[in-house]
Amino acid sequence: MSEGTEVKSSPFYRDRDDWADITPILPTPEENTIVRIDAGEAFVDAFSYLRAVLQKKEISERCFQLTNDCIQLNAANYTVWQYRRDLLKALGHDLKAELRFIGDIIMENPKNYQVWHHRRTLVEWIGNPGDELDFTAAVFDDEPKNYHGWQHRQWVVRHFHLVGQREIDYTTKLLLEDSYNNSAWNYRYFILQLWEKIDHKETLDIEINFCKQIAGKLTHNESVWNYLAGLLISGGLISRPDVIEWAEKLYSETENRAHYLVSFLLDIEMEKIEEGLDGGLIHVTRAKQFCKELEEIDPVRTNFWRYQQALAENKHEKQILHAQQHP
């Protein structure tokens, strides 16, 4: 842990003279009967005194030190963290020192919601992003897909208006290291939306080319196909003939086809049928062909692919009927 923030276990509070004025509130027999917690003696001792000072609404330095021990014993306890925040404000403690403290706790408990919530509150109180982007990057060095870390980074960027090329470049770095990092793909999409660049042609061209480079080498990477489809959701897949041509070429040159590629092409054909484009029967035939292929390479969802096949035929029949009724 950082210098000056190390938390050491105290002796039992029941044996300390400076806590002699407090009568601990021990767990009741009913509590132990209903929800039996296998807690050690130190846990029961510390939390019994915590209950007592909470009941008294005591604001003191000793209570703040008590929360240190309780956090070490159970960092997921919401009440301890809320009480600590009340004490921080009332006692006027150094918030930056508290940031260092919570940073150490997060590194030990990276998947704990309460510790991330505490850090966010501190950053809000301080009023500037400080080193939060670097901090989350350090967390991702150990665990690239830490959900709470990504949520925190999103909040920091949005709250302090830090959206920009730096964040896109950061995701590029992560994705070149691990193109299967779905969290990085989601964050990249979030940044483009927040930056209001998602519909800019120049940005779209860059992002599509980035997807082509990765999907062309890793056709079984589901994340990149989802990202590519997300980029085109506004105008539709058929709005980019260059993407269709690229996907068709990839399909024709690939033997061990990933079902993500085939389903991407199926979605294109379904859009063409929906839009009533010329050659409707051809699009239905191709859609059925892709559905049959998907039944073989993705048998777990056979029923879904059969449904898609029936849907393609139904869409085409509706288009024919509509054309007959409105010549």
- Enumerate the active-site residues: 111
The amino acid sitting at 235 is: G
User: Closest by alpha carbon to 324, among 283, 287, 280, 267?
Assistant: 280
The vertex-211 CA angle with 205 and 215, nearest 5°, equals 145
Q: DSSP secondary-structure letter at 163?
A: -
Among left, alpha and beta (phi > 0; psi -120 to 50; other), residue 279 is left
* Residues 6 or more apart whose Cβ sits within 8 Å of residue 230: 189
User: Among 272, 261, 259, 251, which residue's Cα sits nearest to residue 304?
Assistant: 259
Nearest one of 38, 62, 41, 39 to 50, comparing CA atoms: 62
Task: Give alpha helix (H) positions in 74-112.
Answer: 78-91, 95-108
For 168-197, the three-class secondary structure string (H helix, E strand, C coil) is HHHHHHHHHHCCCCHHHHHHHHHHHHHCCC
Half-sphere exposure of 193 (CA within 13 A, CB side): 14
Contact by Cβ (8 Å): 7, 69? yes
